[in-house]
Structures are given as C-alpha cells and as structure tokens.
Structure 1
Amino acid sequence: MTSRNWVNLFLTTLVIGAVTTGVVGFIVRWSEFQQLLNDFSIMEFLSILLWLMGVGLIFSILSQMGFFAYLTVHRFGLGIFRSLWNAVQFILIAFVLFDLVYFRFNSFAEKGESILPYLGLAGIVLIAGLVTAFLKAKQTNKDAFIPALFFMVVVTVIEWVPVLRVNEHSWLYLMLFPLLICNAYQLLVLHKLNQKSIEERKALDRNIKANKKAQKKPSNA
C-alpha cells in the first residue's frame, strides 16, 4: 500500500470512529442529552458530544492497531500452520465466543440473572463478523471468509477487553459498535486500496519509463 493510501485509510477510519462513537453515545446516554436539551444547555451538550468523539478517536486508533497487528499475525499463521491455519482460526473463534459468554456470566452475573444478555452481546459480535466476512469473501474470494471472521470476532474482543473487565453497561456498547464498524471498514476497503496502490505504482513506472525515453531522444537542434 502506498503511503498516500495508508494515510487516507488512517484518517478515514479516525473520522468513522469519532462519528460512530458520537452517535452511539447519543443513543446510549439519551436521558442525559435530553435533559441538557430541555435545559437549553447547548454548550454543555456540544462539549459532551465533542468528548465522545474524542473517545471515538481513541477507539479508532485501537482498531487500527489491532488491524495491522492481525495482518502480521496472519502472515505468521500462514507460515507456521500453512493449510491448517483456517482450522486453527475457527477453533480460536469458537473458544473466544465461549469465553465471552461463560467467563463474563460467571464473573458478573447476579444470583438468578439470565444468561441471555451475555449471549446477546456475543451474538452481536458473531453476526457482525459473519456479515462482514460474507461481504469480504464476495468481494475477493471464499478463502477470505475465515480470516475475516477471525479478525471481526477474536481481534474485536481483544480490543474490547478493557471495557469487558469493567462491565459498565453503557461503555460496553459505546466501545463495541465503533470497534465493529471501524474493523469492518478497514477489512472491506483494504483490497481496494491495495489494488489502487498497484495501479498507482504501475502508472508511476510508466511515467518514469516515458521520461527516460524522452531524455534519450536526440535533439532536433
């Protein structure tokens, strides 16, 4: 990927993270925002919204760190496990989803509390992963399905760990959706940016060769 396309990906993902967190924060903390609007506290309303968008920038950077870390891990996995890498990723996906439900339920559930909310959060992650992986496989090839699902499930949960450990309800959703959207965006746009970078390099090489040929032509003077 060329540096220009990488910067474009970085900045676009930052914007997506900030906007998504602002929107999700508005929904999750609606009662607080509604009270400010009722009191005509516009400046305070805007300050909280800007704060949420600033938090979204942090979520976006965390998402991008996870994305580029996964690209490295994926290469190592292919080198070490070769044809078994997809099977290893599938096992890890199942393991992470199980842990996401089992350990959270054992750690935070109160006596008599249903397991359904814990299954629901894992279900959101899995459904988002399946949809993104299907789109990725459709845009590229079927071999991309398991790696895309692994990234969307396993890497997203790892990025989500700081809030999972606290288990504060509003923060769970405030962090989850921006991470899912930023991760999905990077995954789905990566091959397009790589192709664009290849075309830009080819165009640059053609221009360099054309300039060299022009310089070698004898002068008419």
Structure 2
Amino acid sequence: MAESSIGLKTYFEFSGRAPAKHIDLGNADFFLTNTGITLPRRGPTFLYGFRGSQRVIGSAIQRARRRGVELCPVYAQAFVGTYTTKRQDAAGIANFRFLNVPTQIKASLKNDLRSRWKSLLEREGLEDEFPVKPSPHMHLLDDLVQQPPYDQLSAIAYPVETEVGLAQLVTVFAVEEIHNLEANSIFPVNLRLVPPA
C-alpha cells in the first residue's frame, strides 16, 4: 500500500516586498509565549488541522501588520504510513505511524499514554491531565517517543491552549519523512528546516 501523508502548516515573517531567497525555518511563534507551554525539541512543530490553525494564522497575519512586516504561510506534508479511519491502538502504530491525541486513539492506548505520561510528569515534579486535557508540558513527548511502541511514530498531533484559543499542533519526530515543504509566495524561496531552539 502507498504511504499516506498528513498536512503541516507554519509561517515566517519578513520585511520588505519579498522574502529572502533562503529561509531557515525553526518552530514558529504559535502564540505560546505567555502560556507556559514547552514544545518538544526532537523535531519541528507545525499547525495541524483546520479551525485552530486558521485562528492562529489569522492572528499571526494581524500581528505582522501591527509590526509592519509581512507573513508568508508555509505548507508541507509528512509520510506517516498506511492511513486508517479507525481509532489507533498500540498494535497499529507500526503501520500508521501517526497519533492524533486524544480524538483518534482507543481507550486502551489513551490509558497507556496517561500512565506513561504520569511517570514522566512525576520524574520532573509536574502535574497535568494529558491526554485527557491539553498539557503545557509537551516537551515530555521527547521522552515518550523513545519508549516502545511510541518509538515507531513519525508524528504526534495534540491540542494546546494558545493565547488566541485552542489549536492542534503536530510535532514530526521523523524529520526525514517531511516532504513538499513550500512557501506560499510568488517569489522563489528555498526553505530549510533547522532544529528547534
């Protein structure tokens, strides 16, 4: 079967009439500055889905105007294995290497994820209710994806409470699976992903 892909969205700001010909893309500012949310560092994070991402991008356009700069949307895809419409369980991760938390996972996987997450939280003296509720401690995904079966995942999508409302982010841990990275610009722009700061 053919590899399935998920859609990824991000953006960058630039001054002047045209963006630079070469842009290094790190994690964009998804209105998380005053939220206390820490993102994973083992891969780049993008917006995922429609409603929340449109809210963030719309707010980013307004913020760019206030700053006197332009905003350029960026789109990409990531290979994630064989797509399924069924809720994901641990046994399916080897084939469909993408989790959309919490909506597209079975109760058994949600319970396993919660148990492991609690252990990671306790180790750092933190508390939250992920995956039942959004967490500010998403950097813990870096440790989770080193544990089987989560070490087989290419990407994990999860909700976060941004300064402009709820949005779905996706961190891609298998950077080599990212393809079709393109700036939505009439000017040619070569994009390069750089490790998260």
Higher helix proportion: 1
Higher strand proportion: 2
TM-score normalised according to structure 1 size: 0.25
Q: Which has the larger radius of gyration?
A: 1
Higher relative contact order (CA 8 A, sep 6+): 2
